[in-house]
């Protein structure tokens, strides 16, 4: 079995290196590491570490830099989560998820006959929640940063004003939504080249965004949530049927929350609590899988895939029924992540695939966009940050705030708008995630830090909407159960099942014909070949006592260390 595992892993890795151009070895760093989806942002974060800044300083600088260099997801018009581990052994999280405007209600996206109108929750100003990213980054710095705030945001300002040279990946991303940008004059002005598509090597200038970032630099939170920027947001929202008001912006505040915690084979798992579902789902899945000897089953074997898929069906069913904003709904997180509950679920899993109806908790559908971005950071002091941010869809609702230079989110689509009606990504949700004024919408973001003896050994996360949880889970298993280095653990193929739809999506070269036949005989159904997640991770190399980092070859990011 061990020989088989080594052979299949080697073959899969070779294929993925051919497909994605994966690095042969992880990036190494003695004192610190930054891994993000943007080479510009990673380099800026590293510069902050080298100046003596801590991991939170670097995370704030990287976050603002992503708003310039990775506008599809790392945008100040969105929101996200920080999971932080401190060198003294403590942990915390910062929730700067977007919130529903005060003017909305649970039926806001239904017509007079009760029919769901997805365009209202996915497109235009009606789809936007109150942005949280600026407040979250400012809050993180004020409470846990060490360098002056101006030093953290100025590199992003310079980047926006001086321009970024567009890589092949950046051009492909921008041009993928070219026709959408043409619909909005301010979006067309910035994200097209005088109405034409950008080409590789062109320079993207964002002078309006530079001015907005300068307001934030000088006035902190008031530079975004009050004054000129707030006036532009509210005016354009009201003129186009949106719900955002000055009071919504002024009243927005991040929330510091206790992390969700679990254990797995002697490791401590620290992840994001609700309103993110990711931490609860990850720990629930790991608790079930702890009952199997996964290494003995063999990586990517039919039994390995079967037991993970069957575990995930229970996890996503629970996500649908029980998870939402804990400020509005009594989330039973402690039960869901308990070893006792996981043993009950383990005992329900057998050698055959169960249909969704056999483990049904709910009948509501929810879709969540895969267009998010993650970054991981560790510093020389032993502090670590795992951060995931998003606009929801790629480039959110595609609307640039005219005069402010950033794109608005379409996060309202992450609520459960109507029982039985999917939003954009096919997940399921109940009353726990219904629309209410001031409520934070449920997310699958799973920024995670794994510890051993109170020291970080793995900092990981991914974009991917509903596939974030399965992406992070499989990278964690690759590292902890199979001892892979971080680059191999991220490079190798992944699969996904989220209970509904009742199918396994998978990446090329992962599932052999024999494995597929065995899974079919167990009752599994297959969906589409696809790309799953874009993980950004850092792993402690115990043998060489050094940090190792890896960006996902499915994207165009960069790992840098020193």
Indicate the pLDDT class of residue 369, thresholds 50, 70 and 90: low
Q: Over range 151-161, report the average pLDDT.
A: 98
Q: How many CB atoms lie within 10 A of CB 2?
A: 9
% of the chain at pLDDT higher than 90: 89
Indicate the pLDDT class of residue 431, thresholds 50, 70 and 90: confident
Residue positions counted in the chain: 562
Q: Chain-wide mean pLDDT for the chain? A: 93
Indicate the pLDDT class of residue 22, thresholds 50, 70 and 90: very low
The label of the residue with tokens 């996360």 reads 461
208-249 pLDDT per residue, tens: 999 999 999 999 999 999 999 999 999 999 999 999 999 999
The per-residue pLDDT for 360 is 72
Query: Between the CA of residue 542 and those of 405, 458, 536, what are the distances in Å?
Result: 45, 11, 19
Indicate the pLDDT class of residue 363, thresholds 50, 70 and 90: very low
Which letter does DSSP use for residue 354 in this model?
P
Look at 175-179, 421-425, 495-499 and tell me which has the smallest mean pLDDT: 421-425
The per-residue pLDDT for 213 is 98
Indicate the pLDDT class of residue 1, thresholds 50, 70 and 90: very low
Indicate the pLDDT class of residue 526, thresholds 50, 70 and 90: very high
pLDDT over 90 (residue 21): no
44-93 pLDDT per residue, tens: 999 999 999 999 999 999 999 999 999 999 999 999 999 999 999 999 99
- Cis before residue 275, ω within 30 degrees of 0? yes
Helices (H) and strands (E) in the chain, counts: 21, 19
Indicate the pLDDT class of residue 430, thresholds 50, 70 and 90: low
The per-residue pLDDT for 50 is 98
% of the chain at pLDDT higher than 70: 92
Annotated catalytic residue 372:
yes
The per-residue pLDDT for 344 is 97
Identify the H or E element spanning 371: strand 371-378
Q: Over range 537-546, report the average pLDDT.
A: 97
Q: Over range 468-493, report the average pLDDT.
A: 98
Q: Which of 372, 390, 446, 548 is catalytic?
A: 372
The per-residue pLDDT for 429 is 55
Let me know the angle formed at the C-alpha of 279 by 273 and 282, rounded to the nearest 5 degrees: 160
Of 174 and 362, the structure prediction assigns the larger pLDDT to 174
The label of the residue with tokens 């073959």 reads 11
294-334 pLDDT per residue, tens: 999 999 999 999 999 999 999 999 998 999 999 999 999 99
149 DSSP β-pair partners: none
340-351 pLDDT per residue, tens: 999 999 999 999
Q: Over range 404-408, report the average pLDDT.
A: 98
Of 206 and 113, the structure prediction assigns the larger pLDDT to 206
Domain ranges of the chain: 1-163+205-562
pLDDT over 70 (residue 15): no
Whole-structure pTM value: 0.94
The per-residue pLDDT for 453 is 95
Q: Over range 461-471, report the average pLDDT.
A: 96
- Cis before residue 337, ω within 30 degrees of 0? no
Edge-to-edge strand ranges of the sheet holding 448-452? 27-29, 546-551, 536-541, 455-460, 448-452, 267-271, 260-264
Q: Over range 158-170, report the average pLDDT.
A: 98
The rounded distance, in Å, linking the Cα atoms of 478 and 482 is 5
């Amino acid at each position: 079995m061990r020989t088989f595992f080594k052979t299949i892993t080697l073959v899969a890795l070779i294929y993925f290196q051919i497909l994605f151009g994966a690095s042969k070895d992880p990036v190494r760093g003695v004192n610190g590491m930054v891994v993000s989806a943007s080479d510009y942002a990673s380099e800026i974060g590293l510069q902050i570490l080298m100046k003596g800044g801590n991991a939170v300083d670097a995370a704030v600088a990287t976050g603002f830099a992503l708003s310039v260099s990775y506008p599809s997801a790392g945008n100040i018009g969105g929101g996200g989560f920080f999971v932080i581990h401190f060198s003294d052994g403590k942990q915390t999280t910062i929730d700067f998820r977007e919130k529903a405007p005060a003017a909305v209600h649970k039926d806001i996206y239904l017509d007079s006959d009760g029919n769901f109108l997805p365009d209202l929750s996915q497109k235009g100003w009606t789809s936007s929640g109150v942005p949280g990213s600026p407040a979250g980054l400012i809050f993180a710095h004020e409470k846990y940063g060490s360098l002056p705030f101006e030093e953290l945001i100025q590199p992003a300002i310079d980047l926006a004003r001086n321009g970024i040279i567009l890589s092949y990946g950046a051009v492909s991303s921008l041009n993928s939504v070219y026709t959408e940008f043409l619909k909005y004059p301010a979006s067309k002005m910035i994200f097209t080249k005088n109405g034409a598509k950008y080409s590789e090597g062109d320079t993207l200038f964002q002078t309006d965004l530079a001015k907005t970032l300068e307001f934030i630099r000088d006035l902190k939170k008031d530079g975004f949530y009050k004054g000129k920027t707030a006036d532009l947001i509210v005016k354009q929202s009201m003129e186009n049927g949106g719900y955002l008001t000055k009071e919504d912006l002024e009243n927005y505040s991040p929330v510091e929350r206790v992390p969700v915690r679990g254990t797995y084979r002697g490791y401590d798992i620290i992840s994001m609590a609700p309103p993110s579902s990711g931490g609860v789902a990850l720990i629930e899945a790991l608790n079930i899988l702890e009952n199997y000897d996964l290494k003995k089953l063999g990586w990517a074997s039919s039994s390995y895939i079967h037991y993970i898929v069957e575990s995930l069906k229970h996890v996503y069913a629970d996500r649908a029924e029980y998870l939402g904003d804990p400020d509005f709904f009594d989330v039973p997180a402690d039960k869901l992540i308990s070893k006792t509950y996981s043993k009950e679920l383990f005992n329900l899993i057998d050698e055959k695939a169960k249909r969704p109806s056999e483990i049904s908790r709910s009948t509501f559908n929810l879709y969540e966009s895969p267009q998010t971005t993650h970054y991981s950071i560790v510093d020389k002091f032993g502090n670590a940050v795992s951060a995931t941010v998003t606009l929801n869809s790629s480039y959110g609702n595609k609307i640039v705030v005219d005069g402010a230079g950033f794109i608005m989110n379409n996060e309202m689509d992450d609520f459960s708008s109507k029982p039985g009606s999917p939003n954009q990504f096919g997940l399921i949700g109940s009353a726990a995630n219904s629309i209410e004024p001031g409520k934070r919408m449920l997310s699958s973001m799973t920024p995670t830090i794994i510890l051993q003896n109170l020291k970080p050994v793995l900092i990981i996360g991914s974009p991917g909407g509903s596939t974030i949880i399965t992406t992070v889970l499989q990278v964690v298993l690759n590292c902890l159960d199979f001892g892979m280095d971080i680059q191999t653990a991220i490079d190798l193929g992944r699969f996904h099942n989220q209970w509904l739809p009742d199918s396994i999506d998978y990446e090329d070269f992962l599932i052999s014909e024999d494995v597929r036949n065995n899974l079919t005989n167990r009752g599994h159904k297959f969906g589409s070949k696809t790309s799953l997640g874009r993980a950004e991770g850092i792993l402690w190399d115990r043998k060489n006592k050094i940090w190792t980092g890896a960006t996902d070859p499915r994207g165009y990011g960069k790992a840098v260390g020193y």
